[in-house]
Structure 1
């Protein structure tokens, strides 16, 4: 049965035979001499002697646990999960799977996460831009007009660096318009801060929808580099062909499985609730400062602030040892600084530094 994914994927990928690693081929036995591993590990400390065997070629247990977490008891048919080395690899895999260099295009909606454009252009795939509206929502008519020309559309909700959630009705409209032309990729890296806005459940209705997730944000595992793709099997069958052998290291898988346990998820939700409380307190305080023009609503673990005047607040904070993110490189975000939400003490110190400038 022909699917949109099978029509979009280049013939080279369609005919590609995945690399047949020792773990993918498998086998049963009591002496393992098939992968050129050491039969006994070398002990370099901290349990390193147990790492002489290659990990699972695709960590199925980790993918299944994340799928169960993402559905939270709901049932969604025709949905698969794939563990990858952070959300950035998920973006790269989608571009390399469905786009041909010098020929295909993707759509991006700036200001948004810069890796969509970077991954496309590094693969010599044109990134067509349809900027967000002044309220940081999607320009749906312009996006729909460009859909027939693009293999992929990347959306981020909640969006980085603006912090807002994309309107659900706009995503529905784009999914309807793109069913025969384009894969719609929704990056939900910050979804734990706005869980009711997830679009994962829509994959059953729209097999051209792909969702990207990560453990880097709310789970606090940025150094572990573990992300996930959630997609229809028709999409996943091609993406999985390009995954490198043994993509997830065993220590990463074990830490991630622990984070996704019942205890780990409960700890994450408690920590997220505390962070949101600090975020909302900081927003309330900072928007009272005279040099603040706008504090944009946030459904994330950061706050985007537009300051008055030509001076760079970023530099003022940096002089006081507070490192934030200057967004002035984007014309739509002139005089804007993105501030991640830390502890109450860190945000109080940041607030006092801003008051000093004032």
Structure 2
């Protein structure tokens, strides 16, 4: 099958034979002497698990559990999923699989997540830019002019650090425009805060669409480093060639599987609803302050605030023991600070600190 993925993938990857780890080769028997493992677990007081065996090379039960979770949100999915070590590894895998160093390009739309550019430039892949418009939506003419010359277009929706959702009609238009030339990767790390805006159900119609997800945000599992790539089988065929021999540790898979059970999903949704309520209250109260120019509409677990005072509010809040994220390095985000939404008491402390300055 002459898929877009097969035409985009570099010859070196096309010819690549994945590392044949012991778990990947498999086999059956009662003595497992094929992976240079200890036959007996050393006990180090790290729980009751036996960690002397290598994990599954691709934890299919975890990938299937995530697909079931996606279907539970109403998405009629006909795609494949693979678990990876956080969304960052998903980004890195996409670039290393489909881009040849020194020859190929990706496209990004700043201000957006910095790892797209970092992962590309770390292997000498150029990141061309089509900056967002003033309302943080896509500059469609600028993107379409360059689309055919780029292997991958990265879009983040809801976007980090601006917090807004990308117009779905624009994403569909780009999927159509890039059908024969470009993979469109939509990073949905924050999608649980705006689930109705997901494009994952479009993968069946558009095999050039890849969706990145994570358990780090709404599920609150940033420490375990577990994310997912969702894509058509034609794309996944090549992604699987570059995945590490044992990408997901057993303890990580166990925690993730528990989170994806019905009780875990319900806890996540309850906590997300509480966070959204706190976010809206905080945004409304902060907007009343004289030092605040704009509190941007957010569909995430943070708010982006543009201050109208020349003093850096990041430094001021830091002097109060409140660590936020200074976004002033972005040309479009002068005087902007990104503030993650914590508990009501944490946000009240932050609000009071800003009032004191005011």
Give, in whole Å, the separation in 2 of the partners of 1:155 and 1:73: 22
Find the residue that maps to 1:323 and give its secondary structure: coil
Name the residue aligned to 2:258: 258
1:205–1:62 Cα change, 3 Å: same
Name the residue aligned to 1:352: 352
Normalising by structure 2, we get a TM-score of 0.99
Name the residue aligned to 2:343: 343
Give, in whole Å, the separation in 2 of the partners of 1:138 and 1:75: 25
Checking the alignment, whether the CA contact within 8 Å between 1:294 and 1:307 is kept in structure 2 is: yes
2:197 is the counterpart of 1:203: no
Unaligned runs of 5+ in 1: none
Root mean square deviation, CA, Å? 0.9
Name the residue aligned to 2:216: 216
Give, in whole Å, the separation in 2 of the partners of 1:49 and 1:295: 47
Name the residue aligned to 1:31: 31
Give, in whole Å, the separation in 2 of the partners of 1:353 and 1:207: 49
Name the residue aligned to 1:12: 12
Checking the alignment, whether the CA contact within 8 Å between 2:286 and 2:351 is kept in structure 1 is: yes
Q: Deviation at 1:70?
A: 1.3
Checking the alignment, whether the CA contact within 8 Å between 1:214 and 1:228 is kept in structure 2 is: yes
- The 5 Å alignment of 1:50-89 reads 50-72=50-72, 74=74, 76=76, 78-89=78-89
Name the residue aligned to 1:225: 225
Give, in whole Å, the separation in 2 of the partners of 1:76 and 1:279: 30
Q: Deviation at 1:68?
A: 1.0
Name the residue aligned to 2:162: 162
Q: Give deviations 1:318-337, integer Å, cap 9, x for gaps.
A: 00100000000001000000
Name the residue aligned to 2:130: 130
Find the residue that maps to 1:265 and give its secondary structure: helix
Find the residue that maps to 2:224 and give its secondary structure: coil
Q: Deviation at 1:72?
A: 1.6
Name the residue aligned to 2:147: 147
Structure 1, 75-84 or 237-246: larger mean CA deviation? 75-84
Q: Deviation at 1:78?
A: 3.9
Q: Deviation at 1:75?
A: 6.4
Name the residue aligned to 1:320: 320
Structure 1, 40-49 or 306-315: larger mean CA deviation? 40-49
Name the residue aligned to 1:47: 47
Checking the alignment, whether the CA contact within 8 Å between 1:136 and 1:162 is kept in structure 2 is: yes
Checking the alignment, whether the CA contact within 8 Å between 2:83 and 2:229 is kept in structure 1 is: yes
Find the residue that maps to 2:284 and give its secondary structure: helix
Name the residue aligned to 1:280: 280
Give, in whole Å, the separation in 2 of the partners of 1:243 and 1:48: 29
Q: Deviation at 1:232?
A: 0.1
Name the residue aligned to 1:177: 177
Q: Give deviations 1:169-188, integer Å, cap 9, x for gaps.
A: 11111111000000000000
Give, in whole Å, the separation in 2 of the partners of 1:143 and 1:311: 35
The count of residues paired between Structure 1 and Structure 2 equals 358
Checking the alignment, whether the CA contact within 8 Å between 2:9 and 2:99 is kept in structure 1 is: yes
Q: Deviation at 1:308?
A: 0.3
Q: Give deviations 1:83-112, integer Å, cap 9, x for gaps.
A: 000000000000000000000000000000
Normalising by structure 1, we get a TM-score of 0.99
Q: Give deviations 1:242-264, integer Å, cap 9, x for gaps.
A: 00011000000000000000000
Unaligned runs of 5+ in 2: none
1:23–1:172 Cα change, 3 Å: same
Find the residue that maps to 1:230 and give its secondary structure: strand
